[in-house]
Structure 1
Amino acid sequence: MDLNSDLTAWLESLAEELELSDLDLDDDSVHTVLDLARDAAHHVDRPAAPLTTFLVGVAVGRGASLGSSAAKATALAVGEA
């Protein structure tokens, strides 16, 4: 799935507004976060999606890797942790 131009433009604008212009938000990272949100919404509860992605973002901001943090959250959400 390629990101559509509206989503790409939105992410670029938001990154700039949040002074994250140096952030390299590649397709793999976007898909990881979208998959995580889907799993949290379907296996936990819809409001868990944005809150789960927020917490994973905090973990990444504190130095954890996105892949590892998303994997841990997904495992917990689907009951494999």
Structure 2
Amino acid sequence: MPQLPERVQICECWARDGLQGEEQFIPTEKKILMINRLIELGFKRIEVTSFAHPKLIKQFADALEVLKGLQRPPDVTFIAIVPNDKGLN
């Protein structure tokens, strides 16, 4: 039997991967509430949004607002997908 690692890291990706296919826009306040609940549940790595162009994925048109509204525990890492240089700027 292979040796199991002593520790694993779980990255929660619902807020990014789970929402990107939703056709109806989820209000910013609800996204913030749900991500803050994930933080309260103890998740330490969370994919929170994407900086994809809003014409391509409308669900992330509020990416900056979502990030601004989140709790900021020092032990939690937030991840945002940046698909290209344009999204970075």
| Shared fold (TM-score, shorter chain, > 0.5) | no
The structure that has the greater radius of gyration is: 2
Greater helix share, structure number: 1
Q: Relative contact order, CA 8 A, sep 6+: which one is greater?
A: 2
| More strand by percentage | 2
Structure 2-normalised TM-score? 0.27
